[in-house]
Amino acid sequence: MKKILFSLAIVGGLSACAPMSQMQPPPTVVSAQDLNWIADKVFKNETSGDPAKLIVWNAQEEFASLGIGHFIWYPEGRHGPYTETFPGLLEYTKTSGVPLPTWLQNRTARGAPWPNKVAFERAQGDKEVTELRNYLQQTMNLQANYMSARLTRALPELLNHVAPAERDRVLKNYQAVEKSPKGLYPLLDYVNFKGEGISPTERYNGQGWGLLQVLLAMNPSQPGPQALSEFARAAEDVLTRRIANAPPERQEAKWMAGWRARLDTYRPQNLLAGY
């Protein structure tokens, strides 16, 4: 499988004592080996390693999910409660100098070209969809890079969305995971999986389920296996709470087994398996 390689720059080394205006983290460059590994892990989480699932429209959803991270793409003129991430990938691709499929490069519209799931399914044999699927299969590392850029932006935003008294705890929990062996992966995967946790539309009964909520739910830990286990535990608690708060008609309990399987990949006993 051909992949386009990029270095991966991520957040790191924030000072817990620095003023918010000075929290500009220096990038940490991750090796191509680690970049490949992260991209493959996320790909398997979202698609079970099936390239056909790089472009899907899930039942009961109002958007297409594309790429290794199943980045959200709403139809043109439509918006929803979840953060739209695929247009950002397209912009990131353009600034990286990697050519998009011609039909995407020439589009002026921001939204997806399929107005609904029926139209999406009808288009699966189209040349444009085939080109897009092949492109997404060939640029997994670029997509992982885009996800890392999102994570880089996320931490200062997370700290700005909590009371000053809680910023130190959030930052230390983040750093404990990030400094653990392969600790970048659970942070990057979770923020892509369930968001930053700062959007007011991503709430049930006023409670979110993103990375911020997981960091707030963690007990203090030192970098290493304890921090990884604690991150996975806190994430499971946050998602269990989400299900309890979800509208009954959404029947979100049906997703918990899959969510737990994903969170298990964050645990230290599983994190290095197959690496």
Contact call for residues 64 and 114 (beta carbons, < 8 A) = yes
Dig out the tokens for 3 from the structure: 């992949």
Sign of the C-alpha dihedral computed for residues 160, 163, 165 and 169 taken in this order: negative
Verify that 145 and 30 share a domain, yes or no: yes
- Sign of torsion, CA 162 247 69 36? positive
| C-alpha span between 227 and 94 (Å, rounded) | 37
Q: In this structure, is residue 155 part of a structural domain?
A: no
Q: Give residue 192's domain range.
A: 161-275
From 104, 127, 149, give the residue that closes a domain.
149
Residues 43 and 165 in one domain: no
Tokens 């809680």 locate to 166
The encoded tokens of residue 70 equal 């199943």
Q: Closest Cα partner for 51 from 140, 127, 112?
A: 140
- Cα 139 to Cα 31, 74, 84, 136, 269: the distances in Å are 17, 21, 20, 5, 29
Q: Answer whether 188's CB lies under 8 Å from 68's CB.
A: no
Residue 18 located in a structural domain: no
**pLDDT tens by residue, 85-124:** 999 999 999 998 899 999 998 888 899 999 999 999 999 9
Q: Is residue 19 part of a domain?
A: no
Same domain, 169 and 119: no
- Across the strands, what pairs with 112? 75
Query: pLDDT digit string (tens) for 39-69?
Result: 899 999 989 889 999 999 998 899 999 999 9
Q: Please report whether residue 156 resides in a domain.
A: no
Q: Return the ∠ at Cα 232 (arms to 38 and 243), rounded to 5°.
A: 110
Compute CA distances 220 → 159, 170, 175, 199, 239, whole Å: 17, 9, 11, 25, 20
Domains held by the chain: number:
2
User: Residue 79: pLDDT above 60?
Assistant: yes
Give 11-47 pLDDT, tens digit per residue.
444 433 344 434 444 445 566 777 788 889 999 998 9
Same domain, 35 and 58: yes
Q: Token pair for residue 251? A: 């029947």
Closest CA to 162 of 217, 242, 107: 217
**C-alpha to C-alpha distance for 66 and 59, rounded to whole angstroms:** 15
Per-residue pLDDT at 6 exceeds 80:
no
Amino acid 225 reads P
Picking from 149, 181, 198, the residue at the C-terminal end of a domain is 149
Neighbouring C-alpha atoms within 13 Å toward the C-beta of 152: 16
